Copies of this chain bind each other. A is one copy, B any other.
Amino acid sequence: MNRGLSDPSPFPSRAEKLSERERKREAVLRAAVRAFNARGFHSASLDDVAASLHISKPTIYHYLGNKEQVLLECVTRGLEKLQEAADAAERESGTGLDRLRSFLRRYAEINMDDFGRCVIRTGEEMLSADGARRFRELKSRIDLAMRSLIEEAVGDGSIETTDVKLLAFTLAGALNWPARWHRPDGPLTAEAISATMVDLLTAGIAPRR
């Protein structure tokens, strides 16, 4: 509650109220994505989500809209993180393989996070036609970014491959899967898993020496 650096007045300023709304919105979104991940989109009811925050269902509508909008906001968050990871990797130095590996590690980590996990676990059949289209478009951008990184690595000779598209699917598939089985309270951290998996995968991409 008391997040000010000093002198926490009980009378909120205007800016504080705005950010208060943002923080509440955020909390609702978090609760929703956790519920979706834990019990599945269909089985998690908005009443459950509301109850977990000691609020009522209409409050969710107040902050985020209907159930599909909530889900779309969740997956958009996850996909934004992935996009940022791709952009960051593009800006890095090193060989194409270095940049690709860097992206893949981050990609896997995000997929073990709340919003990334939600991206993986959300199927198009859960969405309306419009929602599914938007979802597909966003995912497609990530796919293209990954292919782009692969092509750059092919270009500078740091990897060899015949089929960029299938390679992208293979890498993505392997690194998406932890979203299904990884438990944050398990023995291995997300970073450790990511690093090991990327090592396993890229050893196969590197030219034979």
Binding site for B on A (CB under 8 A): 38-40, 42-43, 121, 123, 125-126, 161-163, 166-167, 169-178, 180-181, 193, 196-197, 200-205, 208-209
Can you give 25 contacting A-B residue pairs, CB < 8 Å? A39-B125, A42-B42, A43-B125, A161-B200, A162-B196, A166-B193, A166-B197, A166-B200, A167-B200, A169-B178, A169-B197, A170-B174, A170-B177, A170-B197, A170-B200, A170-B201, A171-B174, A173-B176, A173-B177, A176-B177, A200-B204, A200-B205, A201-B204, A204-B204, A204-B205
For the A-B complex with A161-B200, A208-B208 known, give 15 more contacts whose Cβ atoms are closer than 8 Å. A39-B125, A40-B123, A40-B126, A43-B125, A43-B126, A123-B180, A163-B196, A166-B196, A166-B197, A167-B200, A172-B177, A173-B174, A173-B175, A177-B177, A203-B204
- 3 interchain residue pairs of minimum CB distance: A204-B204, A173-B177, A40-B125
On chain B, the residues within 8 Å of A208 by CB distance are: 203, 208-209
**Copy number in this complex?**
2
- Return A200 CB to nearest CB of chain B, in Å: 5
A173 to B205, CA, bound (A): 17
Instruction: Determine the residue in chain B with the shortest Cβ distance to A192.
Output: B166
